[in-house]
Amino acid sequence: MAVKWVLGGVVGVLVVAALVVVGTLTATSAGLPAGTTLHHAPGIIDEALKHAIQEVVKNAMNDALNQEMKEVRSSVNDLKTTMSHLLGAMNDAKSTMENLTHSQSAQRIFDQELRDILNGNWKSVDLAPLDAIAKRTRTERPAGHSGELIAERQLYYRLAQMSHVNRICEIGFNTGHSASLWLFANPTAEVVMFEVRNNDTQVKHGENFLRGPKAVQFGLKNVNQRLRMVFGDSGITVRGVARLEPSLKCDLLSIDGFHEYFHALSDIVDMHSLANPDRHVAVIDDTNCFGDSVDKSLEEAQRRGLVKVLLGMSEPGLKELAEYMAKGSGEDPHPFRGVTLYQYS
Ligand SMILES: C[S@@+](CC[C@H](N)C(=O)[O-])C[C@H]1O[C@@H](n2cnc3c(N)ncnc32)[C@H](O)[C@@H]1O
């Protein structure tokens, strides 16, 4: 571009110079009659010509240089913008890679921990600290709870300790036996409990203990910050939370509410909306035991392709409940208690 400008200037000057050299300058300015021509005055004209050429060339060079500089500056700016886009894209790619690597390694850990659980590593869990807590949360009227079960609590304990678990959600608080297990086994996880009986003395008793100063002596840390009670029928509240707080996802889910066929089935269906799609495990209580309809709800969920069953087991039911039932209406309707570990498909 600059060369073009310079050449243009020089050509212009040469044209003027040619006219002068041929001696066709008019002499009007010298007071001679119009049309009189002067012959070439070599010294003066050469000097003027040289000066004019120098000026034109200098100006043309300057203009060209300025123009060139402007273009170079704008090219440098374009380059800068392109570079910064490239850098941004590289950083994005880097963080995507890091996320991918992190997610792959989190998945590997999750798979390994789940394999260990399915291979029975929960059988070594020491329940002594939980037994001590269970004594404090027990009340006069023991509705079904997990406070005396062995296998179920051991399994729950290991599940709560899995590395991916940051939030545990359960339907059915009662006196807070399972809630205390979650809070104890995983001392940093948030625990969201759905319970229909608001203002019920048993529920209050359990909640007050967990939130009170004594709980700390039993190893239950930061309960006030971590325990969230959602009161109301789970048939409404679970879907309500899922809709109003779409980012609330649970890494471990437990269903232990109303054990009637449709309620349990609806709990299974509704809890799906809270399950963390990245990684989660879920348990449903009161399966694999005679005379209970939760098995049928789970079977229906399986038939619909909603869940994948990973493990099922049962053990003798609660002594405490059996004794209580024997005193009153007769037989314990749950001589065995069982649980199923599953995932949403
Ligand atoms: C078997 S107890 C839960 C025991 C507790 N998970 C434990 O292991 O200690 C069942 C609880 O579910 C609650 N429940 C029953 N139907 C419910 C519903 N529709 N919505 C929410 N909670 C419900 C009952 O009030 C009761 O406290």
State if residue 205 touches ligand 1 by the CB under 6 angstroms criterion: no
State if residue 256 touches ligand 1 by the CB under 6 angstroms criterion: yes
CA–centroid distance, 330 to ligand 1, in Å, is: 22
122-344: which CATH architecture? 3-Layer(aba) Sandwich (3.40)
Do 188 and 182 touch, CB atoms closer than 8 A? no
Q: Which pLDDT score, from 0 to 100, does residue 321 have?
A: 55
CA–centroid distance, 237 to ligand 1, in Å, is: 13
Q: Which pLDDT score, from 0 to 100, does residue 319 have?
A: 60
84-136 pLDDT per residue, tens: 999 999 999 999 898 889 989 999 999 999 999 999 999 999 999 998 888 77
Average pLDDT over residues 310-316: 90
Question: Cβ atoms within 10 A of the Cβ of 125, count?
Answer: 17
Out of 141, 171, 262, 267, mutate this one to test ligand 1's pocket (max ligand atoms within 8 Å of CB): namely: 171
Locate the ligand 1 atom nearest the alpha carbon of residue 202 and give its number: 27
33-51 pLDDT per residue, tens: 555 555 556 677 788 888 9
For residue 205, pLDDT over 70 is answered with yes
Nearest to 141 by CA among 191, 188, 175, 170: 175
State if residue 144 touches ligand 1 by the CB under 6 angstroms criterion: yes
Angle between helices 151-160 and 42-118 in degrees, nearest 10: 170
For residue 68, give the H/E element and its range: helix 42-118
Place 294 in a pLDDT band, splitting at 50, 70 and 90: very high
CA–centroid distance, 28 to ligand 1, in Å, is: 118
CA–centroid distance, 320 to ligand 1, in Å, is: 18
CA–centroid distance, 218 to ligand 1, in Å, is: 24
Average pLDDT over residues 56-81: 92
What CA dihedral angle connects 183, 186, 190 and 195, to 10 degrees? -40
The secondary structure of 280-341, three-state, reads CEEEEECCCCCCCCHHHHHHHHHHCCCEEEEEEEEEECCHHHHHHHHHCCCCCCCCEEEEEE
Nearest to 171 by CA among 243, 263, 288, 301: 263
For residue 325, pLDDT over 90 is answered with no
237-270 pLDDT per residue, tens: 999 999 999 999 999 999 999 999 999 999 999 9
State if residue 332 touches ligand 1 by the CB under 6 angstroms criterion: no
Q: Which pLDDT score, from 0 to 100, does residue 52 have?
A: 87
Question: Cβ atoms within 10 A of the Cβ of 281, count?
Answer: 26
Mean pLDDT of the chain: 86
